[in-house]
A and B are shown apart, each in its own frame.
Chain A
């Protein structure tokens, strides 16, 4: 990977755009799925809210794949997947940082790192195009979802 080429001025937008899009999507997720919002929305909408939440998580998980598919820019899509996942986990980490010991911090970093890798991988593969890469991208999305579920207790 030619990093100098990738980070040159001409390609600055290839960092800024995925960064901004990932940030905006996460702001949306945060506003809708933070506990305070759920306390308001869930009792009013009932089952519809839960269906909406499931759908939102599925869309969120496949966002890097869609980004790669639309843009066809592999490294930009990989960055998007990494940013998208990283921004998702930051509020949770900030909540618990003061409570965690060395082992928990290590596990959390590994958890977030693995998720970011698979999110980025999904974007990269989808952007490469071709059936083989699309299958790879879908596999990465599924692994991303499995990692996410493994953190829910």
Chain B
């Protein structure tokens, strides 16, 4: 490629960049609401159910690097776990491609297994032994990930709920804001006393959230209520980096001037699901239709 050609290419790219800047008004940063000072619903001491299901386990994370692949295997095991579930462990396995230079930098040797072990306390349950949280709260508190028939509680709270409303209307308000009904996501669960374990239905500010975005999982419960877990995603690989801002953003979709029949009550219901980081005040916003 000649120097003149290279300069043309660079000019073209610079023009492209300037054009893209025109798409984005400087004021756009104000679109996402700021988190305001608010009530906090502290995490309560564990309920009898949680205490009963909290198990002291040996949490072993194994890293095995072979042929450019890093295999991360997390195994939760212990006598108490084996006694309770009749299986030796709960396993989560992930495989990540790692180039040789990075492997050297991280001190991974080909074929060598590295193991990190810690003792931890986790909440485990089975399909037939669901959380009894619905007896004391109107909505589920936490969401769960599944491995076989065992469910592990995640540190991700339910932070929004709709009552006296229709599932499709709830989704419609979110989709109207340009969110997609088909985001790329992993499936998480909540437990309902009638329906059992329910898989989530996801909506997101865009399907990939390549450079970050907002994402909500919703579940239609047997009593007609709808529970939602909203969070802000970082850029890929995704991590939840905010709960309160995502909750306020979604709640705001029901507060438009034409939304006269939606009534939003910010941080209205204490679910005692406080998280320090990323911050969650443990209160769910409730939205009613009338």
* Interface set of A (CB-CB < 8 Å, partner B): 13, 17, 20-21, 24-25, 27-44, 46, 49-50, 53, 57, 70-71, 88-89, 91-93, 95-96, 99-100, 103-104, 106-111, 113-114, 116-118, 143, 147-153
Give the residues from 97 to 123 in chain B that come closer than 8 angstroms, CB to CB, to chain A: 97-99, 101-102, 106, 116
B228 on the interface (CB 8 Å rule)?
no
* Choice from A21, A88, A99, A153 contacting B277 with Cβ under 8 Å: A99
Closest residue of chain A to B207, judged by CB? A50
* Choice from B94, B205, B238, B239 contacting A39 with Cβ under 8 Å: B205
Q: Which of B19-27, B136-144, B165-173 touches A?
A: B19-27
Listed by A's residue number, 24 A-B pairs whose Cβ atoms lie within 8 Å are A20-B10, A21-B10, A29-B210, A32-B20, A35-B214, A37-B28, A41-B23, A42-B179, A49-B178, A50-B207, A91-B212, A92-B237, A95-B234, A103-B72, A110-B106, A114-B99, A118-B97, A147-B97, A149-B184, A151-B236, A151-B237, A152-B209, A152-B237, A153-B237
Chain B residues positioned under 8 Å from A57 (CB to CB): 208, 210
Please measure, in the bound complex, the distance between the C-alpha atom of A148 and the C-alpha atom of B211, giving whole angstroms: 12
Determine whether the beta carbon of B178 is less than 8 Å from that of A92.
no
Please measure, in the bound complex, the distance between the C-alpha atom of A79 and the C-alpha atom of B185, giving whole angstroms: 31
Give the residues from 180 to 202 in chain B that come closer than 8 angstroms, CB to CB, to chain A: 180, 184-186
Chain B residues positioned under 8 Å from A37 (CB to CB): 23-24, 28
Q: How far is the CB of B121 from chain A (nearest CB, A)?
A: 16
CB contact under 8 A between A31 and B177, given known A24-B17, A116-B99, A117-B99: no
* Choice from A24, A35, A111, A113 contacting B16 with Cβ under 8 Å: A24
Please measure, in the bound complex, the distance between the C-alpha atom of A40 and the C-alpha atom of B206, giving whole angstroms: 12
* Choice from B28, B94, B185 contacting A152 with Cβ under 8 Å: B185
Determine whether the beta carbon of B205 is less than 8 Å from that of A40.
no
Chain B residues positioned under 8 Å from A31 (CB to CB): 17, 20-21, 23-24
CB contact under 8 A between A103 and B61, given known A92-B212, A95-B241, A114-B96: yes
Q: How far is the CB of B282 from chain A (nearest CB, A)?
A: 18
Q: How far is the CB of B6 from chain A (nearest CB, A)?
A: 6
Chain A residues positioned under 8 Å from B102 (CB to CB): 109-110, 113-114, 117
Chain B residues positioned under 8 Å from A33 (CB to CB): 206, 210-211
Q: How far is the CB of B274 from chain A (nearest CB, A)?
A: 16
Count contacts on B: residues with CB < 8 A to the other chain: 59
* Choice from A39, A53, A107 contacting B237 with Cβ under 8 Å: A107
Most buried by B among A49, A99, A103, A153: A153
Determine whether the beta carbon of B236 is less than 8 Å from that of A152.
yes
Q: How far is the CB of B246 from chain A (nearest CB, A)?
A: 11
Closest residue of chain A to B185, judged by CB? A153
B230 on the interface (CB 8 Å rule)?
no
Interface string of B50-92 (1 = CB under 8 A from A): 0000000000010100001010100000000000000000000
Chain A residues positioned under 8 Å from B61 (CB to CB): 103
Please measure, in the bound complex, the distance between the C-alpha atom of A32 and the C-alpha atom of B68, giving whole angstroms: 33
B35 on the interface (CB 8 Å rule)?
no
> Apart from A31-B21, A35-B32, A113-B102, what are 13 other A-B pairs with CB-CB below 8 Å?
A24-B17, A38-B205, A40-B25, A41-B23, A53-B208, A91-B211, A91-B212, A95-B241, A148-B210, A152-B185, A152-B237, A152-B238, A153-B237
Determine whether the beta carbon of B212 is less than 8 Å from that of A35.
yes
Chain A residues positioned under 8 Å from B233 (CB to CB): 153
Determine whether the beta carbon of A114 is less than 8 Å from that of B208.
no
Closest residue of chain B to A36, judged by CB? B28
Determine whether the beta carbon of A50 is less than 8 Å from that of B180.
yes
Most buried by A among B1, B180, B208, B237: B237
